[in-house]
A and B are shown apart, each in its own frame.
Chain A
Amino acid sequence: MHQSILVFRNFRYLKWALSVAAVSILLYVVHEPEYGLPNGGTLLGYVLGTFGALLILWLMWFGIRKRRYGAGGAPVEDWLSAHIYLGLTLIVVATLHTGFQFGWNVHTLAYGLMMIVILSGVFGLFAYLRVPELMTNNRRGMTLVQMMREISDLDTACREAALSLGDEINRIVLKASQNTRIGGNIRRQLSGDDPECATSEASRAVRHLADHAPPSQAEGFRALMGLLARKEELLSRARRDVRYKALLDIWLFFHVPLSFALLGALIAHIVSVFFYW
């Protein structure tokens, strides 16, 4: 129905970005440094460096613009599309600025940080493009809250169904309802699974006990197993939902703080080149 952020406005910002990159490369090719190899200290180096630094500031301004909800001007979608493409051109602009002169110094630290920020951005972009649809399909029209509510309803139903099936089963079911977790630490969230899921364990145990149950309880066991299976299914969907949400969010925890680190390193870089020169 409508298009992704990449195709947005018929690739307008891709075209801008390609032009910027092309101009930078052209200048780099024609430019003859007064002495030595191309580097940040030449005239072109200054030009590209300054441009790159401004670009970084502008990219970071996006965090502010995004929150100025009443602001006029271009919609956030334009900003993001431009952010992505122009963010990527930094790879060209900044690299040419360095003249490929890397070393163990604060300058290269800034460069490195920049590359990590860009990389995390690329990851985020990938998540933004891929995850929403997976998430929608997984939810089947339910919200996470609705899933949770249904899980807790199933839980109650399980405990009721267990009542007539003896102490052992009751204990198992109770344990399952107390120890089942959704989410948890970041690793858990991202895995979208729980290898030690208490409900799965209970389900296995109940199945095992059902094999030895007297025929009079067969009906009760069947009902309980049905409920547990349904709960398991919902649990795995809920966990997957948590995973998707985590994928959509986690990269920003790198992208943004590292942007600030980059800003710091950049300032250090600029200050230092003026001192040591």
Chain B
Amino acid sequence: MTERVKIAIVGSGPAGLSAAGRAAASGVSHVLLEQRDHISDTIYKYQKGKLVMATPDILPLRSELSFQIGIREEVLGNWEKQINGLKANIRYNSEVVAITGEKGNFTLKLSDGTTLNAEFVVFAIGLQGNIRLLGVPGQDREWVQYQLNDPDEYSDETIVVVGAGDAGIENALALTKQNTVVILNRGSEFARIKQGNLTAITAAIEKNQIECIYSADTVRVDDDGIVVKTPQGETKVKCDRIIARLGALPPRKFVESCGIKFPYSDPSSLPELSGQYESNVPGLYVIGALAGYPLIKQAMNQGYEVIEYIQGNQLKPADEPLLEQKFANIPGNRSVSEILAMLQESVPLLSGLTTLQLREFLLDSNVHAPRGGDVIFERNDYTNSFYSIVDGGVNIQIDPEDETKVVSLGQGEFFGEMGLLSGRRRTATVMASKPSLLIETPRRSMIKLINSVEAVKRVMDEVAVGRQIQTYIAPGIPLQDLQDLIRTVKVEKFEQGAVLFREGEAGDCLYLIQRGSVTVSREVSGKEAVISYVAAGNYVGEMALISNAPRSATIRAAVAVEALRLDGVPFQALMGRNEAVRRTIEARYRGRMLENIETTEQPEAGGIIQFLIEQGLGEATDVLLIDEALCVRCDNCEKACAETHQGTSRLNREAGPTYQTIHVPTSCRHCEHPHCMVDCPPDALRRNANGEVYITDSCIGCGNCERNCPYGVIHMAAKPPKKPGLLQWLLFGRGPGPGQAVSGKWGPDSNKEGGAPKPKKAVKCDMCKDVLGGPACVRACPTGAALRVEPSEFFRVVSQGL
């Protein structure tokens, strides 16, 4: 007979565990299903001894289980003891593979073929997904593994690494030190991997340190090796060990197969949930990381709450005090739920949000109450947050020369979306026009929202198109006069390297770059030569429209690009109607003609631009370059960085490529759309007004950013103890000298100051935002070889000749 419970909880991460704990404590019939033979697989897989952080500190914990900052082993050990003490009903090795039925009568199918009945199901399966297995006979042999913790554990073995992604390559490279390594690549080359890994693996293969079998499909695993099929036929690769790194299947597939809807295909899209975590399928609940709450404490709170909600108990969410605090400066003594209702009423953009989404949105946001005349942000700031006007209004100064030219926005409208879209400097200064109430939302929450709520995306897109055309093409022209043009606009996306249009084609449209940047190139003696670079917020393609000639150059996406495609006909009509627009566009046209002539005469400038684009400058906002004709290799820049940043240099001078005498060291590019920000659970990566991307103290050391940065500039490091001063070193030899590598007593692992182990956190270049006088690397360079440049400015200088 099939077992029957009231609540089935799937996944024993912090969310599911806490739910089971609450269910057990309140005596509800329940079962906790975990696919592995231990609790909390995600945390189980953290590095040994990793310090588990309990952020945000201000959020109270509401759970039958305890949780505070501690090392991984302690945290897991405690939970295991406590959950057993509560006599929760846990079934290990029980992967749920399908759920059918409806509220009151769900059937859960487990991987061992058994089934289970439940009235309610709580999904708490996290985001890690299921590791992709080889999918061939023999995949479960004991020497076939899907993870590699410590490459130094193995020696003198023949190891086959399956999978040519970053993880596979990194493992293969690490294993070559002591083993013979063969890597299987399904493709005929290495695609979509980090530049550093590509260079390293290509070199290793060339030098016969690693054997690579291309276009290889695995057939089966035998007793003594793995059988692969290649275009040349089947062969067996004998080996002692197989390490398969094939990525993970996102859990979303499974969740969707149970009927739960996600509004968009974008990976950051979240399932739509009610204020009580219930999905669109009644009786199916989603909590934890999968619901968009990527921190342990939040997950635990939701586990507790969801059980209460299912039992019909009302309770205030644990984040209530946080919201109360946020709303402290909203006048009138209103309760949180009253304020939430008021906000949805006064800001149409937010009206489509569920209560849960709104709460999350507000938890990340800040409420400001500026007085009339207060500046909200300034033109050229690099901030990327988004503002909604709850009450009052703002003036946007659209003309840098004339402060009186303003566009006014009032209650219910929003602004700041252009910085968000382009990742570049603010295009206008915004001031409160009267006492107002504004909500400021950070970039990440806004992106999540845009990708999760259809209505938000639609409204944002519409407004953004109009405003961009107004700002970049037709300043000062009222929106209604632009409708003809706006109607034809399509947002087009281009992958890195894709062509927007080609030299010689007929031109019937114009592209306004909304995000990313493009290169302009021309055919010179049979080869495509780059002549310049165009950043977001500019348009390309006007030349053909003005001169009615074919395209005079090829435009390629330097990085992933989003561009607004404007139809030629209404655009030409606009120029015909409006004298001022025509004049500015023609002026730009003449400028570009000249520039083209200049750079075509300077082929070496094109080479430099091409090289720098390859180094990621197309998406950079500020980058460190070294002029090797001046650099005396004293490494003072690195020493300065280490000395001003807890002993770890965030730049590696010597690493990185050189073209002619321009060297691009390994250091942060402060990207327009930082890859490192994509997956940071506590949203610790931020950008401030000067553009620097930095890491706040809320970092939990998960290492996602280190993996996500394509330029390899983030490290995980612990804070070393404070070093004695320079004079103490000079006079008495105390401590390590300036810029000397630190280890031992003064090193990061030192426990000189006593106390708990120190957490390793992500560190990266913060452009010395806290150092007197600005970037220490540049200030410490004795010969002026190190310089920080803003790419568009630099490219302009380059194309006019060095």
Residues of A within 8 A of B (CB): 1-5, 8, 64, 66-73, 75-77, 79-80, 127-128, 131-133, 135-136, 139, 141, 143, 145, 153, 245, 248
> Cα distance A70–B770 when bound, in Å?
10
Partner of B783 from the list A80, A136, A143 (CB cut-off 8 Å) is: A80
Judge whether A76 and B781 touch: CB under 8 Å. Answer: yes
> Cα distance A133–B630 when bound, in Å?
7
Partner of A132 from the list B631, B643, B654 (CB cut-off 8 Å) is: B631
Judge whether A66 and B784 touch: CB under 8 Å. Answer: no
Judge whether A70 and B772 touch: CB under 8 Å. Answer: yes
Which residues 780-802 in B have Cβ within 8 Å of A in the complex?
780-785, 787, 797, 802
Q: Which of B66-74, B236-244, B258-266, B632-640 contacts A (4 or more CB under 8 A)?
A: B632-640
- List the B side residues contacting A4 at CB < 8 Å: 630, 783
- List the A side residues contacting B772 at CB < 8 Å: 70-72
- Nearest residue in B to A3 (C-beta to C-beta)? B784
Least CB distance from A51 to B in Å reads 25
Task: Kindly list the 10 A-B residue pairs having the minimum CB-CB distance in the complex, ordered from nearest.
Answer: A72-B772, A69-B640, A136-B628, A69-B643, A75-B779, A67-B738, A72-B773, A80-B782, A133-B629, A77-B784
- List the A side residues contacting B658 at CB < 8 Å: 136, 139, 141
Asked whether A132 and B771 contact (CB < 8 A) given A67-B726, A70-B643, the answer is: no
Judge whether B661 and A128 touch: CB under 8 Å. Answer: no
Cβ of B644 within 8 Å of any chain A Cβ, yes or no, is yes
Judge whether A245 and B636 touch: CB under 8 Å. Answer: no
> Cα distance A216–B802 when bound, in Å?
56
Partner of B778 from the list A3, A75, A145 (CB cut-off 8 Å) is: A75
Q: Among the interface residues B629, B631, B726, B778, which one has the most CB atoms of the partner chain A within 10 A?
A: B629
- List the B side residues contacting A8 at CB < 8 Å: 784
Least CB distance from A155 to B in Å reads 12
Q: Among the interface residues B771, B779, B784, which one has the most CB atoms of the partner chain A within 10 A?
A: B784
> Cα distance A140–B787 when bound, in Å?
21
> Cα distance A135–B663 when bound, in Å?
13
> Cα distance A68–B730 when bound, in Å?
12
- List the A side residues contacting B757 at CB < 8 Å: none
- Nearest residue in B to A83 (C-beta to C-beta)? B782
> Cα distance A77–B780 when bound, in Å?
7
Partner of B629 from the list A77, A80, A132, A248 (CB cut-off 8 Å) is: A132
Judge whether B782 and A76 touch: CB under 8 Å. Answer: yes
Judge whether B629 and A131 touch: CB under 8 Å. Answer: no
Cβ of B253 within 8 Å of any chain A Cβ, yes or no, is no
Partner of A66 from the list B776, B782, B802 (CB cut-off 8 Å) is: B782
Judge whether A245 and B633 touch: CB under 8 Å. Answer: yes
- Nearest residue in A to B663 (C-beta to C-beta)? A136
Judge whether B639 and A69 touch: CB under 8 Å. Answer: yes
Judge whether B627 and A1 touch: CB under 8 Å. Answer: yes
Asked whether A2 and B630 contact (CB < 8 A) given A67-B726, A132-B785, A141-B658, the answer is: yes
Cβ of B282 within 8 Å of any chain A Cβ, yes or no, is no
Which residues 586-638 in B have Cβ within 8 Å of A in the complex?
627-634, 636
> Cα distance A132–B633 when bound, in Å?
8
Cβ of B657 within 8 Å of any chain A Cβ, yes or no, is yes
> Cα distance A1–B737 when bound, in Å?
34
- Nearest residue in B to A7 (C-beta to C-beta)? B784
29 A–B contacts from the bound complex (CB under 8 Å): A1-B797, A2-B630, A4-B630, A64-B730, A66-B780, A67-B726, A67-B737, A68-B726, A69-B643, A69-B739, A69-B776, A70-B643, A70-B776, A71-B773, A72-B773, A75-B780, A77-B784, A79-B782, A80-B783, A127-B632, A132-B630, A132-B631, A133-B628, A133-B661, A136-B629, A136-B658, A139-B658, A141-B658, A248-B633
- List the B side residues contacting A67 at CB < 8 Å: 726, 737-739
- Nearest residue in A to B640 (C-beta to C-beta)? A69
Judge whether B636 and A76 touch: CB under 8 Å. Answer: yes
- List the A side residues contacting B737 at CB < 8 Å: 67
- List the A side residues contacting B657 at CB < 8 Å: 141
> Cα distance A153–B654 when bound, in Å?
21
- List the B side residues contacting A69 at CB < 8 Å: 639-640, 643-644, 738-739, 776, 780
- List the A side residues contacting B778 at CB < 8 Å: 75
Number of A-B contacts (CB under 8 A): 94
Asked whether A66 and B636 contact (CB < 8 A) given A132-B629, A136-B629, A141-B657, the answer is: yes
- Nearest residue in B to A1 (C-beta to C-beta)? B802
> Cα distance A75–B659 when bound, in Å?
27
Q: Among the interface residues B634, B640, B773, B780, which one has the most CB atoms of the partner chain A within 10 A?
A: B780
> Cα distance A251–B778 when bound, in Å?
24
Which residues 704-733 in B have Cβ within 8 Å of A in the complex?
726, 730
- List the B side residues contacting A77 at CB < 8 Å: 781-784
> Cα distance A70–B640 when bound, in Å?
8
Least CB distance from A210 to B in Å reads 25
Known: A69-B739, A69-B776, A75-B779. 19 other contacts (CB 8 A): A1-B662, A1-B797, A2-B627, A4-B783, A5-B784, A64-B726, A69-B643, A70-B771, A75-B780, A76-B636, A77-B782, A77-B783, A77-B784, A127-B632, A132-B631, A136-B628, A141-B658, A141-B659, A143-B655
- List the B side residues contacting A80 at CB < 8 Å: 782-783
Least CB distance from A202 to B in Å reads 21
> Cα distance A137–B678 when bound, in Å?
39
> Cα distance A139–B629 when bound, in Å?
12
Least CB distance from A219 to B in Å reads 19
Mask, B127-167, CB within 8 Å of A = 1, is 00000000000000000000000000000000000000000
- List the B side residues contacting A248 at CB < 8 Å: 632-634
Least CB distance from B756 to A in Å reads 28
> Cα distance A141–B615 when bound, in Å?
14
Cβ of B207 within 8 Å of any chain A Cβ, yes or no, is yes
Least CB distance from B765 to A in Å reads 15
Judge whether B644 and A70 touch: CB under 8 Å. Answer: yes
- List the A side residues contacting B654 at CB < 8 Å: 143, 145
> Cα distance A71–B639 when bound, in Å?
14
> Cα distance A76–B773 when bound, in Å?
12
- List the A side residues contacting B659 at CB < 8 Å: 141
Q: Among the interface residues A3, A69, A139, which one has the most CB atoms of the partner chain B within 10 A?
A: A69
Least CB distance from A82 to B in Å reads 12
> Cα distance A69–B738 when bound, in Å?
9
> Cα distance A141–B654 when bound, in Å?
10
- Nearest residue in B to A79 (C-beta to C-beta)? B782
Judge whether A2 and B780 touch: CB under 8 Å. Answer: no
> Cα distance A68–B780 when bound, in Å?
9
Least CB distance from B280 to A in Å reads 55
Judge whether B639 and A132 touch: CB under 8 Å. Answer: no
Mask, B387-420, CB within 8 Å of A = 1, is 0000000000000000000000000000000000
- List the B side residues contacting A76 at CB < 8 Å: 636, 779-782
- Nearest residue in A to B634 (C-beta to C-beta)? A248
Least CB distance from B258 to A in Å reads 53
> Cα distance A271–B643 when bound, in Å?
39
- List the A side residues contacting B636 at CB < 8 Å: 66, 76
> Cα distance A8–B630 when bound, in Å?
12
- List the A side residues contacting B655 at CB < 8 Å: 143
- Nearest residue in B to A72 (C-beta to C-beta)? B772
- List the B side residues contacting A127 at CB < 8 Å: 632
Asked whether A75 and B628 contact (CB < 8 A) given A5-B783, A8-B784, A136-B658, the answer is: no
Least CB distance from B612 to A in Å reads 12
- List the B side residues contacting A2 at CB < 8 Å: 627, 630, 784, 787
- Nearest residue in B to A160 (C-beta to C-beta)? B208
- Nearest residue in B to A139 (C-beta to C-beta)? B658
Q: Among the interface residues A79, A136, A143, which one has the most CB atoms of the partner chain B within 10 A?
A: A136
Judge whether A132 and B632 touch: CB under 8 Å. Answer: yes
- List the A side residues contacting B776 at CB < 8 Å: 69-70
- List the A side residues contacting B661 at CB < 8 Å: 133, 136
> Cα distance A122–B669 when bound, in Å?
37
Q: Among the interface residues A4, A5, A77, A79, which one has the most CB atoms of the partner chain B within 10 A?
A: A77
Least CB distance from A182 to B in Å reads 17
Least CB distance from B202 to A in Å reads 14
Mask, B658-673, CB within 8 Å of A = 1, is 1101100000000000
